[in-house]
Amino acid sequence: DGGITQSPKYLFRKEGQNVTLSCEQNLNHDAMYWYRQDPGQGLRLIYYSQIVNDFQKGDIAEGYSVSREKKESFPLTVTSAQKNPTAFYLCASSRPGLQETQYFGPGTRLLVL
């Protein structure tokens, strides 16, 4: 079945540590996105990529980095510069077109130890 997978489901980060969240899709979608979800707030865009080897900062990119070496994969690294990383991280993908619906992965919950 086609879909988007994210791993791990839960991730614990120690102070000063970088951690990487995985996102893989087999929907053959060109565009991929990373959102952060905090209680009481809407989803906020961290980074997005419209095509392989290209990505753009979203509204809250500071303290995060991404890569897009393959169409299927868009990993997100939460660096030690991100001072408040505890959140639910959602990856999404879409196919360019008139509607361009975004489909989401199951999410990774990041907690700081």
Partner 1 sequence: GQNIDQPTEMTATEGAIVQINCTYQTSGFNGLFWYQQHAGEAPTFLSYNVLDGLEEKGRFSSFLSRSKGYSYLLLKELQMKDSASYLCAVKKDGANNLFFGTGTRLTVIP
Distance separating alpha carbons of residues 13 and 86, to the nearest angstrom: 9
Counting residues that bind partner 1 (by CB under 8 A) gives 26
Cβ burial of 85 (10 Å; 0-12, 13-18, 19+) is buried
Q: Which of 52, 80, 104, 112 binds partner 1 (CB under 8 A)?
A: 104
The residue from 41, 54, 83, 84 that contacts partner 1 (CB under 8 A) is: 41
Considering the rule CB under 8 A, would residue 22 count as an interface residue with partner 1? Answer: no
How far is C-alpha 110 from the geometric centre of its chain's CA atoms? 12
CB closer to partner 1 out of 84 and 101: 101
Distance CA(64)–CA(84), nearest Å, equals 11
Examine residue 60 and tell whether it contacts partner 1 (CB under 8 A): no
Cα–Cα dist 21/99, whole Å: 28
Of 43 and 52, nearer to partner 1 (C-beta) is 43
Taking the complex as a whole, the smallest distance from the CB of residue 29 to partner 1 amounts, in Å, to 12
Structure tokens belonging to residue 29: 């979608």
Matching residue, tokens 């979608």: 29
Quick one: 33 or 64, whose CB is closer to partner 1?
33
Of 14-22, 31-39, 61-69, 74-82, the segment contacting partner 1 by CB under 8 A is 31-39
